[in-house]
Chains A and B, each alone.
Chain A
Amino acid sequence: MATKLPKVPIVIVGMGWVGGIIASELTKAGHSVVGLERGKSRSTQDYFHVHDELRYASRYELMQDLSKETVTFRNTSKLRALPMRSYGSFLLGDGLGGAGVHWNGQYYRFLPYDFEIRSKTIERYGAKKIPEGMAIRDWGIKYDELEPYFVKYEQMAGIGGEPTTQANVGAMSKAFPVGPMKKTPAMKLFEDSAKKLGYHPYVIPSANLTEVYKNPDGIERAPCQYCGYCERFGCEYGAKADPVVTVLPVAQKSGKLDLRTHANVTEVLHDGKKATGVRYVNTPTGEEYIQPADIVILSGYLFSNVRLLLLSKLGKPYDPNTDTGAVGRNYAYQVNGASTNVVFEDREFNMAMGAGALGSSLDDFNGDNFDHSDLKFLHGANIRFTQTGLRPIQYQPAPMGTPKWGAEFKKQTLHYANRTLTVAAQGSSMPWRHHYLDLDPEYKDALGLPLIRLTFDFEDQDRELVKYIAGKTKEIADGMGGTKTEIHDSIKQYNIVPYQSTHNTGGAIMGSDPKTSVVNNYLQMWDAENVFVCGASAFAHNSGFNPTATVGALAYRTAEGIAKYLAKPGSLV
């Protein structure tokens, strides 16, 4: 029997970037908020011994315990989905701060093209350019409408970048609050080669703080030390912006945030029209609680958000056979795999040094910044050289054809450890009618509830993109002055085993049509006006960029929408 708690105005499910931003904004405005986080509490003090590659990178210290909950996966709906038993392709965050703790800190606003991808594509190439089954849609919002909210995130996090708007990206109304990361010799080689080719490289905007910075909330943080331990690690300096060192302290200091950790939400309660609250399990005791609320905000990772909607029978589940319903639609990912290595026989680089967001990149072949008339794919990729700190267990660079073990393996991997630079592409991922999320019919979590099921594969669009973009990475790598380059220009089936990217998107997408989207452009649910479903689950496709900037901007806009809703309930659009 669940214990029913007194009703509260606002309950947030998941206290990562999105939950933290919304809690911070609402509590600053004087609203009381309950924050439910299924994992444990976290602070920078936890990272005293964080420079441990085995524990954090290979054994996934910060990630969700898969023995309790995972996802199931299959390449097509004809196959039986099987559980992701151990980590591989992507890593699920857990605990206070969520995936916002273990990110690299690379910060890119999505392109104006992204938000209007369908109409812009038809406008330039005609409707026939969009292949059968590709489900790209406009997002129901334009870049200019979202622009002020990018600024808010940048000021809060202390994003460092070059002072002016770069070529090929959306205009910035306000410069980044701090300057760019330091430029390494290898970054210079990349930029010089790209410039000679007529491209427009720039230093990657960074959430690894570049100087001491006090944000508008009065939070002061120290700069990045380039220690080389960002992705999969927490920052012991608090230099990498994460929710625990930025927005959550503001919410906590307000006295208006009731933060409950180890609170695993299993259902959004509703009467068919509106949510009435949530049901959660306090995992240390197994006790069940009902938390009634006027507003419910889902701010977990996309798998959690979508799963919770489906478990709660809230919204219409997507049916790929009839192309109806909305919850689970438009799952997309990130198409990596295009890259070129350049090796230097006569020069070593300090590859162990670095930071998650240290590097340079260009967008000349991202979005629709280049002519796709004769190409068999849409969108493109951000092409980059990053220097994130190459740790020895996970990085064994060697020329193609080197044996995977033995004397030659040792010799080559030691020789090339600090002599290999990689020009890589982070490719966009388009949604397809047959890529989606639903509940698994067989596998359950530790509480006996169905796991989320992922049906996804790479398409010809992705293979064509990789092939073309890889050619561009080679052009740049060839001009970097190395001894030799090696191109990687093909991808096959999507395989959940090797790590690729933790940029999963979609499933509860935003849009202007209630039939094909779950939320409007305030991330307010069409089918339940007091439910907000936030985060990358709202992305209608994934761009050739890291998602956090756009996740953050949308969260700031949602916070504003919720404040409006509190004053005047109803649809915000």
Chain B
Amino acid sequence: MANKNESSQQPRDESRRQFLKYSGTAIGGVVVGGVIGGLIGANANTDKKDEAAQPDTGKPAKPADRDYNQALMFFNQDQFMTAEAASERIYPKDDSGPGAKELGVAFFIDHQMASAYGMNAREYMSPPFYKSEATQGYQLSFKRRELVALGLDSLNVYSMDKYQKGFPDLAPEEQDKVLGDFEQDAVNIKGVPASTFFAYFLNLTIEGVYADPLYGGNKNMDGWRMRNYPGNQMSFTEQIDKDDFVKMEPLSLSDHLEIG
């Protein structure tokens, strides 16, 4: 590997290693401050392992135990809470493991919307823009982050109109109905391409469940664990031709920094 020599010449930074090890697992009860403080607290991970990592949940966490990555880069608070609730319906918690909310998917989506991807930076966005055939793909100047924010706002508008409550406050069955209406383009909110938004949001949710934890979702690699995906392994030469299914504890790109 390219950095092998370089990294082996550097002394190990124990605190950094600890941080990497526990990142994203120990934010219970932490008040980050500002308008999103309560909200982040509401997103506290309840996984048993986390309590072991941070036994004293009543006090502010030590800096090294906090996941500073869990803060918002793009969404406002309503959009974040709506994204969290909607992604949870798309990928709900069940017997097999956590849902999108615990996996940090809404943070993943927020971060992606703040990135080059949210701004369609590597896509052809030059005019003119014409109405397209379905076989020609997306043909609008409206960018991904604009569409996702508008769609999340619209989920609330539609929920208020139909149920007199915001989307996050609806019962799960009601949330499913609202999402289904968006998916089927049955919402009829003027100026909102509902099904296009839904398709993007669905895709982002799946990415947030299964992308490397580096990006803010797939917390603790639990998305991978649920489907026995081993993540970033350097070699399967010894296992590839074996008859039995091989379960492996997954590794992330962060682990790779140490593997070299």
Contacts and interface: CB of A to CB of B under 8 A. Distances in A.
Interface in B85-99: 89-92, 94, 96, 99
Nearest to A87: B123
A54 B212 contact: yes
A245 to B, nearest CB: 14
A391 to B, nearest CB: 8
A86 B240 contact: no
B237 A85 contact: no
B122 A51 contact: no
B64 to A, nearest CB: 24
B90 A417 contact: no
Given A185-B243, A497-B135, A227 B234 contact: yes
Interface in B145-191: 176, 179, 183
A496 B132 CA distance: 12
B61 interface: no
Interface residues of A, number: 69
Nearest to B95: A411
A45 B2 contact: yes
Contacts of B183: 404
- Among A66, A70, A396, A410, the most chain B Cβ lie within 10 Å of the Cβ of A410
Interface residues of B, number: 64
Interface stretch (A75-83, A100-108, A318-326): A75-83
B229 A417 contact: yes
B92 A406 contact: yes
A287 interface: no
A83 B228 contact: no
A560 interface: no
- Among B96, B122, B136, B242, the most chain A Cβ lie within 10 Å of the Cβ of B136
Interface in A178-216: 182-185
B255 to A, nearest CB: 10
A352 interface: yes
A418 B243 CA distance: 13
A407 interface: yes
B36 interface: no
Contact of A52 (B94, B137, B202, B253): B253
Nearest to A61: B122
Contacts of A130: none
B126 A414 contact: no
- Among A70, A225, A405, A413, the most chain B Cβ lie within 10 Å of the Cβ of A405
Contact of B135 (A225, A393, A496): A496
Contact of B2 (A48, A52, A417): A48
Interface in B108-166: 117, 120-126, 128, 130, 132-139
B227 A353 contact: no
B226 interface: yes
B252 to A, nearest CB: 9
Contacts of B137: 82, 84-86, 88, 496-497
Contacts of A79: 133
Contact of A184 (B122, B240, B256): B240
Contacts of A226: 235-237, 239-240
A539 B99 CA distance: 49
A475 B120 CA distance: 44
Contacts of B124: 66-67, 70, 83-86
A184 to B, nearest CB: 6
Given A84-B137, A497-B137, A406 B89 contact: yes
A51 B232 contact: yes
Interface in A220-267: 223-228, 236
Contacts of B90: 405-406, 409
B107 interface: no
Contacts of B92: 406-407, 410
B241 A225 contact: no
B224 A392 contact: yes
A393 B211 contact: yes
Contacts of A358: 240
B236 A350 contact: yes
Contact of A73 (B125, B136, B214, B229): B136
Contacts of A60: 122
B229 A352 contact: yes
B246 A393 contact: no
Contact of B245 (A75, A348, A442): A348
Given A79-B133, A405-B90, A406-B176, A414 B236 contact: no
Contacts of A227: 233-236
Interface string A503-519: 00000000000000000
A409 B207 CA distance: 15
A411 to B, nearest CB: 7
B134 A495 contact: yes
B221 to A, nearest CB: 11
B96 A53 contact: no
A353 B179 CA distance: 35
A349 interface: yes
Contacts of A82: 130, 132-133, 136-137, 139
B74 interface: no
Contacts of B132: 82
Nearest to B202: A405
A352 B230 contact: yes
Contact of B227 (A53, A65, A414): A414
B207 A58 contact: yes
A82 B129 CA distance: 8
B212 A496 contact: no
Contacts of A393: 206-207, 210-211
Nearest to A86: B123
- Among A67, A391, A411, the most chain B Cβ lie within 10 Å of the Cβ of A67
Contacts of A414: 96, 226-227
Contacts of A350: 236, 239-240, 242, 245-246
A404 B253 CA distance: 29
Nearest to B228: A418
Interface of A: 44-46, 48-49, 51-54, 58-60, 65-67, 70, 73-75, 79-80, 82-86, 88, 182-185, 223-228, 236, 347-350, 352-354, 358, 391-393, 396, 404-407, 409-411, 413-414, 417-418, 442-444, 493-497
8 nearest A-B pairs in the assembled complex, by CB-CB distance: A45-B2, A225-B235, A353-B236, A392-B210, A348-B245, A54-B211, A51-B232, A417-B227
Given A225-B234, A226-B240, A353-B239, 15 more contacts: A51-B233, A52-B212, A67-B123, A82-B136, A84-B137, A85-B138, A349-B245, A392-B210, A392-B224, A392-B227, A410-B91, A411-B96, A414-B226, A495-B135, A496-B137
15 contacts: A46-B2, A54-B211, A58-B207, A75-B135, A82-B137, A84-B137, A86-B123, A86-B124, A350-B236, A354-B236, A405-B179, A405-B205, A406-B90, A413-B227, A494-B135
